Amino acid sequence: MIIQWFPGHMTKAFRLMEKEIKLVDAIIYVLDSRAPFSCVNPKFPSLIGDKPIIYVFSKVDMADRSKVDEWINGYFKKDNTRCIVLNSTASGSGKKVENAIIDVCKPKIDKMQAKGIKATLRAMVIGVPNCGKSTLINNLCGKAKTVTGNKPGVTKGKQWVRIASGIELLDMPGTLWPAFDNTQVAKNLAYIGSIREEVLDIPELALDFIGDMRQIDQVKLEQRYNITISEEDSNLEVIERICESRKYLLRGGDYDYDRCCSSIISDFKKGLLGCITLEKFADIKKLMKKDRKEKTDV
C-alpha cells in the first residue's frame, strides 16, 4: 500500500520553523508512544541543529511501556536530550516538561542571572500531526489555549503561548515529510491517525493492520473481537470473522467490509485494543531500511 499525504500548509510550516528556530532555546519533540520511531521526521535534524531536545512520549497510557522504555534507552537518550514519558491528558502531567525546559536552559538562566536579568525561555513544540502537541500545551497552560482535535492537521499556523512559569511555547503545525521511504513507517502513521483518512484506502489499511497485529499481539485481536485466529487464516478471513462476531452484515447476509474495517482502525486509535506499541527497538534496522524497490515502482 502506497501512502502519501503532504498538504500545502506543511510546506509553509517548514518555512516557519526555519524562520522561528533561531528565536527558541529548546525543542519539545512530541512523539506518539504507540509508534515513536515512525514519528521521527527525517527533515527535522538539519532544522534543529544543536538545540537541546526534550522528547515527550505522549499517549503512553495507550502504549506498551516496556517497548517505549527500550526505544528511549536504545535510541532517543543522548547527551543533548531529555526523555519524558507521560499521559498528556492527565492533570499536572506537563510539570515534568516545564522542569525539563528549565534544566536544558540552565546555561542561559545562569548567564542572564549573572547580569541581574531574569531569562525568558522559549521552546518550539514540534511533531507529526495528531501526536498530542496541542493537548500537551493546554496541559502546561492549565487551560485551552490551542485548538485540539482527533484528526490530523488541526493546527495550521504558529501559535505563541505563555505558561505560568514565564516560559513561552511556540506550537507549530503537525508536519510530515514529502515522501515516505519506508512503507511500514507510513502505515504506522496511518494507524495512529497522523494521516487523514480521506486519502487512505481504509479496507486495505485494515488488512495490513490485521497482518501487523498478528505479529505484534494476536491475543489482543482475539479478545477485543471475541474470535479465534489460526495460522491458516488469511487476513481477509480474520476480518470476515470480526464481521460475524460484531454483526457487521449487509442485507442478505453479506459482510459489511467497509464498516468493519473502519471500526478496526477506529478501535486502535481509541486504545480499545489495549496498550500497544507497533514498533520494537530490536527491529530498528528493518525500520530504517529504505524500500527502494517500491519507491522506484511509484
Q: For residues 29 and 11, which has the higher predicted lDDT (pLDDT)?
A: 29
Percent of the chain scored above 90 by pLDDT? 59
Confidence check: pLDDT of 29 > 80: yes
DSSP string, the chain: -------HHHHHHHHHHHHHGGG-SEEEEEEETTSTTTT--TTHHHHHTT--EEEEEE-GGGS-HHHHHHHIIIII--TTEEEEE--TTSTTTTHHHHHHHHHHTHHHHHHHHHTT-PPPPEEEEE-STTSSHHHHHHHHHTS--S---SSTT---S-EEEE-TTS-EEEEPPP---S--S-HHHHHHHHHTT-S-GGGS-HHHHHHHHHHHHHHHHHHHHHHHHT----TT--HHHHHHHHHHHHT-B-TTS-B-HHHHHHHHHHHHHTTTT-S--S--GGGHHHHHS--HHHHHH-
Confidence check: pLDDT of 175 > 80: yes
In 3D space, the residue among 154, 147, 156, 258 whose CA is nearest the CA of residue 196 turns out to be 154
Instruction: Please answer whether residues 15 and 21 qualify as being in contact, where contact means their C-beta atoms are separated by less than 8 angstroms.
Output: no
For the record, the C-alpha cell of 113 comes out as 542571572
pLDDT band of residue 43 (cuts 50, 70, 90) is confident
Report CA dihedral (60, 170, 40, 68) to the nearest 10 degrees.
-20
In this prediction, residues 239-251 reach a mean pLDDT of 96
The torsion angles phi and psi of 56, rounded to 5 degrees, stand at -110, 115
Confidence check: pLDDT of 80 > 60: yes
Q: Which residue bears the cell 471500526?
A: 263
Average model confidence (pLDDT) across the chain:
87
pLDDT band of residue 5 (cuts 50, 70, 90) is low
Rounded distance, CA 288 to CA 279, Å? 12
Confidence check: pLDDT of 293 > 50: no
pLDDT given for residue 285 in this prediction: 82
Q: For residues 14 and 192, which has the higher predicted lDDT (pLDDT)?
A: 192
pLDDT given for residue 53 in this prediction: 96
For the record, the C-alpha cell of 234 comes out as 488469511
Confidence check: pLDDT of 155 > 50: no
pLDDT given for residue 152 in this prediction: 42
Q: What is the pTM of this model?
A: 0.88
Q: For residues 77 and 144, which has the higher predicted lDDT (pLDDT)?
A: 77
Q: Which residues pair with 27 in a beta bridge?
A: 53, 124
**Of the ranges 118-122, 201-205, 244-248, 270-274, which one carries the lowest mean pLDDT score?**
118-122
For the record, the C-alpha cell of 209 comes out as 493492520
Confidence check: pLDDT of 28 > 90: yes
In this prediction, residues 136-142 reach a mean pLDDT of 83
